[in-house]
Structure 1
Amino acid sequence: MSDVNLVSTFKPDLAGAVSYAPVGTTLPTDATTALDAKFTKLGYISEDGMTKASDFDSDTEKAWGGAVVNNVFNGKTITFEFKLIELLNKAVNQAVFGPDNVTGDLDTGMVVKDTNTEPETFSWIVDTIAKNGTLVRIVIPSASITDMDDLVFATSESAGYDITITANPDDKGVTNYTYMKSVTNSVEKES
């Protein structure tokens, strides 16, 4: 049976949707547990939200005559793309360029070094709120930045780092976990 209450759009968590921490930080295993203190929220992301993409690598085999007889699955790559628009935020710059490449602060003067070193791998969390107050949390145990769009300095739009992170499988072969919990229903049931 169809249910319109299961169709949803998503809003960011008001405290900030995207957080990151060093790999090995304790990860949540549900949609509601408070994040470990090592996680840093990265503030606003652009109105485009986040895109999760699955790139399947497969080969189609055909028999003589052209009939498809087999699809060989070679794996898939999971990426997440979002634009961090708090360009003046030290934590944002540390996530993009690495903690060692960002020094100072806005009051004393901040320096961001854009080097040719391999991007660091972090654990990432994306907290969203779906329709009817359902919390949806995506936990990415290990991912690093694998692409970044041009940084545009203009008066017509906010500057920001439009990054793509590529997820690595954990020791169970899982690249990301999605946890969902209807907070509204939980509160009603407790009453």
Structure 2
Amino acid sequence: MVTTPETQKNNPANVSLGKTNVTGYAYWAPKGTALPSDASTALAEAYVGLGYIGEDGITNASDSETTDVKEMGGENVLSIITSYSETYQFVLIEAMRKSAAQIRYGEQNVTGEDGALSITHTMPDDTEFVLVVELALTGGKKDRFVIPRAVRKEFGDRTLSGTEVLGYDVTLGALPSDLINGGTSREYIGTATAAAGGE
């Protein structure tokens, strides 16, 4: 049967909510760690979970700039996208988790073990690392984002009080990577496999 716009029906099975993933939402690993190439394959042992994330979830934001070319009468005749960037922002609420503190302050600035940490507050380093973000979807499927070159970018304020959860508000930048054909991140939904030309 030939598929045409008229025969393509809406499918409620393609609609999903992001749900709790029991094993975690975000993981990091040293730069160069093998990247997953689908939504379901288990991550390599080098990946470390970052613990619970605050109720506002994970914000994946992108920003682009465009240059418009006008002709002498003032009409736009060409529009060119000149830059593009992408970030992932979330609040790590397991403040006593070593991996969460390391994402905020840098790996070398956090010592100890979960529940008993020593953290040096100083300028964070710009070491790149691999970030994987996951959500469980309706129907037992998974939405997985792979960021081969994640870097620390911005940090939110910490409120120290008896009514606010103690956590780390971090924004991580996603840099272009040749491992995913120059993309900043690659998303695998359900059982999607790697796109041609990249791992």
For 1:134, the equivalent position in structure 2 comes to: 141
Q: Does 1:41 align with 2:54?
A: no
1:153 corresponds, among 155, 160, 168, to 160
Alignment of 1:15-94 (within 5 A): 15-94=23-102
Runs of 4+ more than 6 Å apart: none
For 1:178, the equivalent position in structure 2 comes to: 187
Gaps of 5+ in 1: 183-191
Please give the alpha-carbon distance, in whole angstroms, between the structure 2 residues aligned to 1:95 and 1:166: 12
Q: Which moved more, 1:58-67 or 1:24-33?
A: 58-67
Shift of 1:133: 1.8
CA deviations on 1:81-136 (whole Å, 9 max, x unpaired) are: 111111111111112212211112366x4210121243321100011111222211
Shift of 1:56: 0.9
Amino acid corresponding to residue 182 of structure 2 in structure 1: G
Shift of 1:57: 1.4
Aligned residues: 181
Higher helix fraction: Structure 1 or Structure 2?
1
- How high is the sequence identity, in percent, across the aligned residues? 35
Go from structure 1 to structure 2 and tell me whether the alpha carbon gap of 1:27 and 1:106 turns closer, same or farther (over 3 Å shift).
closer
For 1:7, the equivalent position in structure 2 comes to: 15
Q: Which moved more, 1:166-175 or 1:4-13?
A: 4-13
Go from structure 1 to structure 2 and tell me whether the alpha carbon gap of 1:55 and 1:94 turns closer, same or farther (over 3 Å shift).
same
Amino acid corresponding to residue 139 of structure 2 in structure 1: N
Query: Contact 1:12 / 1:127 at 8 angstroms: preserved in 2?
Result: no
User: What's the Cα RMSD here?
Assistant: 1.6
For 1:125, the equivalent position in structure 2 comes to: 132
